[in-house]
Chain A
Amino acid sequence: MKATTIYDKGHQWIMFGRDPEKPESIIDTNQYMIVAGNRALLMDPGGIEVFAPMLGAILHHAKVDEITDIFASHQDPDIISSLGLWDQALPHAKLHSPWLWEGFLRHFGMNNIEYVGIPDEGNELNLGEVDVRFIPAHYLHSSGNFHVYDPKAKILMSGDVGAALEASEAPLFVEDFDEHIPKMEMFHKRWMPSNRAKNDWVKRVRTLDIEYMAPQHGRIFKGENVARFIDWFEALEVGVAIP
C-alpha cells in the first residue's frame, strides 16, 4: 500500500492506495487519513481485503490510539466492509457515518466502536487542531451519503464522485482533464442515479473553496481541474446508463 502525503501544513492529509499486492479482481480504492496533532481521522478505510495493508501503512504515520475517528461516506463494501476488523484494532474509535445506515453497517460487526450518525443536513467534527465538515452528498450514489471538507487544507474528499476506473499504477493526480473524461463518464452515468441530487451537490460545493478534490477511486483533481470537474458533472446526464 502506497502512502502519499498530499497536504502538510500544520496538519496532514495522507492518501493510501495503488496497492501493488491488491488482488486483481477487486476495485482499486483510495483511502485517506487526516493527522492533526494526536488525533487522526480515517476516511473510507476500505474493504476487508485492504485492511492489513492499510493498517500496516497507517502505522508508519500514527499510533493506533491516536486514530480516534473513522468516517464512512456510505455503506458500500469497498468503503467499509473492513469495519469488523477496525472494531478490534481501534476499539475506542468513533465511526461517523450517515444516520440512515447505522442498522445496516452494524451487520459488518461492531462491538466496540461507537456509531455517531451524521444528520441529513451534515455537521462538523472537531479534531483538535482542525475542524472538518461533513457535506451532504445524498444519492451520489448512496441514499445516505456524505463528503468531507477541510476548510483549512481546502480539500474535499468526494467519495465516489469524481471516481475513475483505471490501472492501479495510474498517477495520483489528473494531468489532462479531457483525457481523463472517458475514464469517468460511464461510472458517473451508471452509478449516480439522480440529476436533481447531482445539481443540488454542484450548487453546494460551488460555495466551497476547494484546492483538491479527492475521490475514492482514481485520481485527485487539483486547482482548476476541480472547477472543470464540477462543470463537467453538472452538464452530464446521470442515471441513464442502462442498456
Chain B
Amino acid sequence: MGAPTEPVEDKLVALASIAAELHSVMGVVWSVSLAGKNAKVISAQAGDKGLGFRPITESIDEISQQAIRGVDDISSEALRLSKIAVHEQRSIDAYQRFNSVIKKNVDAKYIKTILPAVNKVEQSMRASISEFKKSMNNLTLLLETMDQCMLTARAVASVSRIVTSSGQEYRDKLTVVSNDLDKAARYIKQRLLNSYRHLNNVNAQR
C-alpha cells in the first residue's frame, strides 16, 4: 500500500475554483489601477520636477490596465471552460449510454434506427472534447501572460522605489503607490499559482 494520496479535485470544481480565484483578484487589480492613476496624478502635480517619474508612473498605469484585461479574460475563459466541460460530460455520458443500448440489444428489431442519433451524439462529444482542449490551452496561455505581467509589475515597483529615492517632494506618495503595486502583484501571483494547481487537477483527469 502506498502513502495516502489527496483526493483528486473534480474537474468541474477545479474549473469553478479558477474562476473564483480570479474573481477574488479583481478587487486587488482595481486597487492597482487606482494606484496607477494616483501615480499619474502625483507626477503631474510634480510638474517639471515630476518629469523623471513620468516613465515609471506611466508603466504602473499601463500594467494595471493590462492586469484588469488579463483577469477579465481569464475569468471568462474559465467560465467558458466550465460550460464546455459540463457539455462534454453530458455528451460523453449520453454516448456511453447509447452504446450500451446497442451492445445489449443487437437482436432488437429496430436497433439500427438509433444509429443516426448515436452518430450525432458522437460528433457532439468529439466537438466538445476538442473545444475543451482549445480552451484549456487558451487558459494556460492567459495565466502565463498574467504571470509575466505580475513579474513586470514587481520589477516596476522596485525600479520606482529607486527612482523615487532620488526625488524628494513626491517620494513618500510614490513609495506608497509602489508598495501597493508590489503587494498586489504578490497577492495576484499567489492566486495564479492556485489557479495553476486547479488546472493541473483538470489535466490529471484527462
Contact = CB atoms under 8 A, between A and B. Distances in A.
Contact of B101 (A55, A61, A65, A91): A55
A47 to B, nearest CB: 12
A85 interface: yes
Interface in B117-164: 117, 120-121
Q: Which of A52, A65, A91 has the most CB of B within 10 A?
A: A52
A54 to B, nearest CB: 9
A237 B116 CA distance: 51
Give the interface residue-count category, chain B.
10 to 19
B108 interface: yes
B97 A85 contact: yes
B97 A63 contact: no
**Dominant SS at the B interface?**
helix
A62 B110 CA distance: 6
A93 to B, nearest CB: 11
A89 B111 CA distance: 12
B109 interface: yes
Q: Which of A59, A62, A64, A84 has the most CB of B within 10 A?
A: A59
Given A85-B94, A88-B94, A109-B90, A56 B117 contact: no
Interface in B71-123: 90, 94, 97-98, 100-101, 104-105, 108-111, 113-114, 116-117, 120-121
Contact of B117 (A84, A89, A109): A89
Interface string A53-88: 001110111111100000000000000000011001
**Dominant SS at the A interface?**
helix
B119 to A, nearest CB: 11
B89 to A, nearest CB: 11
Given A64-B117, A88-B120, A89-B117, A56 B101 contact: yes
A90 B117 CA distance: 8
Interface of A: 51-52, 55-57, 59-65, 84-85, 88-91, 109
Interface of B: 90, 94, 97-98, 100-101, 104-105, 108-111, 113-114, 116-117, 120-121
